Amino acid sequence: MICAFVTTIRSKSIVPASKTVCTRLSIENLSDILNFLFQQYLFIHLCTHHDTMKNDRRQFLNQMSLMAGIAVLSKPMASAAAIGKRINTLCASGTNVTIYHTNDLHGNLGGLNQIKTLLEKEETAGLILDAGDFLNSSHSLQQQKQVICAMNTIGYHTAAIGDEELSLGQDHLASLVPLMRFNLVNCNYGFNTELSKHIKPYVIIHSGKFKIGITGVGHQVEGVTYRDAITSANQIAGMLKEKGKCDLVICLSHLGYWQAGDKPDNLKLAAQSEHIDMIISDHNHKLLSGPAIKLNKLKQEVIISCTAWDGLMMNRTIFGFENGKQKSNMRSKHFITGQPYGQTFADAFSSLKSIEKLRVSA
């Protein structure tokens, strides 16, 4: 069937049936065919929804601009899966924000490779975040560079700073930051002059029509000026919601899920917050089968989510919106990397719990 289709489209020039789009395409191979079909899908999708978008002219024009940009791409799409992912992401961007996250990777390249495999299988792209300790201070400089390269390849957007990133000193981390194609965020540390140039107290990332504010906090680390983590996070979160007009505020917290006494942790942060929607943990390697839902000072829900160490798990959280930008629902799922085919999540998670017990008793 494909051969017949190729014969047909090679015999004539193709012009989309629209006065708006008049780019003439010359299709010579299967990749070009897939790219062409993707363009046609976008055109039909946008035209179908034209009536519903009359009241949002800016959104319609932005999507039309995106379609036009894709139409003139010089490099064809590599696969039908990639096209499908782009379509799904575009269609979901009007109502959903998708977050993928990890924590405590500890420089485990094997775990990162498995996370990359999981992400490639996902039908929708999203923000990729990490809650800190992605490096391992006991590794060589070359190994640390390989981890950063792997995170760049995966497409991480933002990461928090953990004690592992600071264990070899601020100058060492400052020398590595230029290699990172992702942001480092922290709002409660004071760094030396060189490192302070590279660390941001927060970032705002656009996901479709939604604005996502992301900040980060950490526990006390020797040699680093420390400000109260909960106070700092709340100040930034309030600014992101009120002045930044962010639809979601995420805190990448390396405080740990729970700490004894008055030490700040993520449970305390959630309870004392007002503007944080999601806290991505961890530090003390708390193993949860899914997110914990807590209430903040205003009795509103805060999501606390952490995955396993060494890249053994990854989480996907989808926030749904309705009536414009009103947050309406949340769906979350943990993935266990390297989970054998046919094994249930419960069985795989039970195996991880056994490993956790051995780590605690060691």
**Across all residues in the chain, what is the average pLDDT?**
81
**CATH number for 300:** 3.60.21.10
Give yes or no: residues 172 and 304 share one domain: yes
Residues 351, 243 share a domain: yes
Taking CA atoms, 222 is separated from 136, 164, 165, 269, 336, in Å, by: 17, 12, 12, 22, 34
* Same domain, yes or no: 43 and 132: no
Confidence category of residue 27, pLDDT binned at 50, 70, 90: very low
Angle (CA) 258-263-264 rounded to 5° is 70
Specify whether 206 is located in the same domain as 288.
yes
In a domain, 362, yes or no: no
Domain boundary among 38, 70, 92: 92
Last residue of a domain, one of 60, 92, 124: 92
Let me know whether 303 and 187 are in one domain: yes
Kindly state whether residue 361 falls inside one of the protein's structural domains: no
Same domain, 264 and 133: yes
Is the domain of 86 the same as that of 133? no
The gap between the terminal CA atoms of the chain, to the nearest Å, is 61
What's the mean pLDDT in 86-94? Answer: 72
Q: Which residue has the higher pLDDT, 9 or 278?
A: 278
Q: Are residues 25 and 160 both part of a single domain?
A: no
Tell me: do 65 and 206 sit in the same domain.
no
Shared domain check, 12 and 159: no
In degrees, rounded to 5, the angle at the alpha carbon of residue 99 between the alpha carbons of residues 134 and 325 is 145
Q: 135-162, pLDDT tens digit by residue?
A: 999 999 999 999 999 999 999 999 999 9
- Could you tell me if residue 224 is inside a domain? yes
Residue where one domain finishes, among candidates 92, 114, 143:
92
Q: State the angle between helix axes of 109-121 and 141-154 in degrees (0 to 180), rounded to the nearest 10.
A: 10
Judge if 285 and 202 occupy the same domain: yes
Q: How many domains does the chain have?
A: 2
- Residues 281-300 have pLDDT tens digits of 877 667 888 899 999 999 99
Contact call for residues 289 and 349 (beta carbons, < 8 A): yes
* Amino acid code (one letter) for 188: N
Domain around 264: 96-356
Tens-place pLDDT, residues 40-84: 555 445 444 444 444 554 554 455 455 445 444 444 545 566 767
Examine the domain organization and report whether 70 and 163 are in the same domain.
no
